[in-house]
Amino acid sequence: MPVTNVTKDLDARSLVITAEFAASVERVWQVYADPRQLERVWGPPTHPATVVEHSLTPGGRMHYYMTSPEGEKYYGGWRVLAVEEPHRFTFEDFFAGDESFTPTPGMPVSTSEFTLEPTASGTRAVFTTTYETPEALQQVLEMGMEEGATLATNQIDALLAEG
Amino acid sequence: MIEADEDRADAFFHALADRTRRDILRRVLAGEHSVTALAASYPMSFAAVQKHVAVLERAGLLSKRRQGREQLASGDVEALRSVASMLTELEDVWRGRIARIDELIQED
């Protein structure tokens, strides 16, 4: 399995997943830089993603929708913050009610940083996602669990300890 | 996820998305409390606290029993375990995404 480490910071509500890929940094970067490749990995097989706007540049947007088996569409996007091709980019996640891609109030849901660095055998990718609030977590669940990131079994303690 | 699970997730997270309710839940998980005693702990009306308790009860996170004129509330640890298992499903989504990247790369 490419996933080599999973770390959760319960207080910060953040998740860090490290994965090793047997390909160059440039090749892994392409998965995110090419909308046709991105849509193949973003949505699970039951909810394929369709990327309708894609600008991996600072201030750029990525807009997509996922289609459920019943044909229901879930709209979402990224607001791209920083890009250091081909090593690092950061973005905020948002959800939208329809194809106008107007972010739902109270966003962003989460902020993410993806970094890629070369190793002897390929690329080490580190995906960090920080959820803003417990409400953001609820949003993720309302999206039908398709927008998720890892949360610890005991993350519930963080929600409760927040008080 | 099947529909019933998603409805349950909505109820759980609605219940947990409020600071007072999380605080109430923390107290009743530590031990049974009367609703009167809980109400005395917050700068809000008895009715308001009772409403929070009701939301937690509907989400299956808290159960109540009556003793004389008192309503006693306690936290449901089993229900919390269900929340935890739903959260674990989110981890699977993430792992799925990484597995698909790996698959895509290996097609080259």
Is B37 or A155 the better-scoring residue by pLDDT?
Answer: B37
pLDDT digits (tens, 9 = 90+) for A42-70: 887 778 899 999 999 999 999 999 888 88
Q: Give chain A's domain count.
A: 1
Q: Is the pLDDT of residue A151 over 50?
A: no
Report the alpha-carbon distance of residue B5 to residue A142 in Å, rounded: 11
> With contacts defined as CB-CB under 8 Å, which chain B residues touch A147?
93
pLDDT digits (tens, 9 = 90+) for B60-104: 889 999 999 999 999 877 666 554 555 555 666 778 889 999 999
Q: Is the pLDDT of residue A105 over 50?
A: yes
Report the alpha-carbon distance of residue B74 to residue A157 in Å, rounded: 17
The residues on B that touch A, with CB distances below 8 Å, are 1, 6, 9-10, 13-14, 16-17, 19, 22-23, 25-26, 29, 80, 83-91, 93-102, 104-106, 108
CATH number at residue B70: 1.10.10.10
Report how far apart, in Å, the C-alpha atoms of B108 and of each of A2, A22, B96 are: 17, 11, 19
Residue of chain B whose alpha carbon sits nearest to that of A49: B97
Q: Which of A16, A145, A147 to mutate to test the interface with B (most CBs of B within 10 A)?
A: A145
Identify the H or E element spanning A159: helix A155-161
- Count of CB atoms situated within 10 Å of the CB of B38: 21
CATH number at residue A141: 3.30.530.20
For residue A11, the model assigns a pLDDT of 55
Q: Give chain B's domain count.
A: 1
Q: Which among A4-8, B13-17, B82-86 has the top mean pLDDT? A: B13-17
Is B13 in contact with A145 (Cβ distance < 8 A)? no
ipTM above 0.90 for this complex: no
| Residue A152, domain extent | 3-161
Start-to-end CA span in chain B (Å): 32
Arithmetic mean of pLDDT over chain B:
82
Alpha helices (H) along B17-76 = 19-30, 35-40, 46-58
Nearest by CB to B84, which of A31, A150, A153?
A: A153
For residue B77, the model assigns a pLDDT of 72
The answer to whether B106 touches A22, Cβ cutoff 8 Å, is: yes
> With contacts defined as CB-CB under 8 Å, which chain A residues touch B101?
2, 19, 21, 28, 31, 41
Residues, chain B, total?
108
Closest CA to A156 of B5, B12, B54: B12
Is A146 in contact with B93 (Cβ distance < 8 A)? yes
| Residue B29, domain extent | 3-106
Enter the pTM of the model: 0.61
Q: What share of chain B is helix, strand, coil (3-state, %, to 5)?
A: 70, 15, 20
Considering Cα of A161, then B3, then B4, then B10, what sign does the dihedral take? positive
The answer to whether A33 touches A60, Cβ cutoff 8 Å, is: no
Is A132 or B63 the better-scoring residue by pLDDT?
Answer: B63
Report the alpha-carbon distance of residue A72 to residue A153 in Å, rounded: 29
Mean pLDDT of A73-80: 92
- Count of CB atoms situated within 10 Å of the CB of B43: 6
- Measured at the CA of A43, the angle between CA A45 and CA B96, to 5 degrees, comes to 70
For residue A156, the model assigns a pLDDT of 33
